[in-house]
């Protein structure tokens, strides 16, 4: 039963890291990627739908993204959704497709991206610490219910702390690598 708690805790902590890495994809680094559009949704027949579900979204070079909707009547909806998302570019609608021309990142923009990335990392650490607290609460409940001894409880909580330390270190390592990527000129 303690192994179940350890495994569940580790699974949740890994999920926190995966969530952080998904969030990182929305950050802009030196080369623009289509993932900067991941959080933009349009109303497609009453359903909020991501842009890659209503057309092709392609990064044609390091500074340009082209959105070619499958239904041309969606051009204005896509254009207004991109404008509302405030991603740092104005959409160019030529009646067939939308082009986004991203200017090269300034030092200030790189620093702002690094700042956002650190905030995402801190959120992941908080989530990991919450997972630790939840696991420790389960262990304390087992001890209170006399299902494990006090020594087993202490040992299990130490094990949870080791797992937590491992994942916090992993977050720090990922943050360091990502920061180097963002600030690289």
Confidence of residue 185 (pLDDT cuts 50, 70, 90): low
In tens, the pLDDT along 11-61 reads: 999 999 999 998 887 777 777 888 888 889 999 889 999 999 999 999 998
Distance CA 71, CA 10 (A): 44
- By residue count, the chain amounts to 185
For 39, 49, 104, 142, the CA distances from 66, given in Å and listed in that order, are 16, 18, 17, 56
pLDDT at residue 68, rounded to an integer: 94
Residue 173 is encoded by which pair of tokens?
């390592």
| Residue 86: predicted pLDDT | 81
Tokens 């969606």, residue located: 74
The fraction of the chain above a pLDDT of 70, given in percent, is 99
* Residue whose pair of structure tokens reads 């500074």 in the numeric block: 63
CA dist 59 and 53 (Å) reads 16
pLDDT score recorded for residue 132:
97
Return the pLDDT at 69: 94
Q: Each residue of 73-110: pLDDT tens digit?
A: 999 999 999 988 888 788 999 989 999 998 887 888 88
């Amino acid at each position: 039963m303690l192994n179940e708690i350890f495994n569940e805790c580790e699974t949740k902590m890994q999920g926190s890291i995966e969530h952080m890495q998904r969030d990182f994809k929305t950050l802009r680094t030196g080369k623009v990627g289509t993932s900067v559009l991941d959080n933009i949704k349009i109303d497609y027949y009453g359903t909020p739908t991501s842009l890659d579900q209503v057309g092709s979204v392609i990064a044609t070079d390091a500074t340009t993204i082209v959105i070619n909707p499958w239904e041309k009547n969606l051009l204005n909806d896509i254009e207004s959704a991109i404008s509302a998302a405030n991603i740092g570019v104005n959409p160019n609608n030529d009646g067939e497709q939308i082009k986004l021309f991203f200017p090269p990142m300034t030092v200030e923009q790189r620093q702002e991206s690094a700042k956002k990335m650190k905030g995402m990392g801190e959120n992941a650490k908080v989530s990991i610490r919450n997972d630790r607290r939840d696991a420790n609460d389960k262990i304390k409940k087992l001890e209170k219910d006399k299902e494990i001894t006090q020594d087993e409880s202490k040992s299990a909580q130490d094990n949870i702390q080791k797992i937590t330390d491992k994942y916090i270190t992993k977050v720090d390592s990922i943050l360091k690598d990502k920061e180097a990527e963002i600030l690289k000129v």
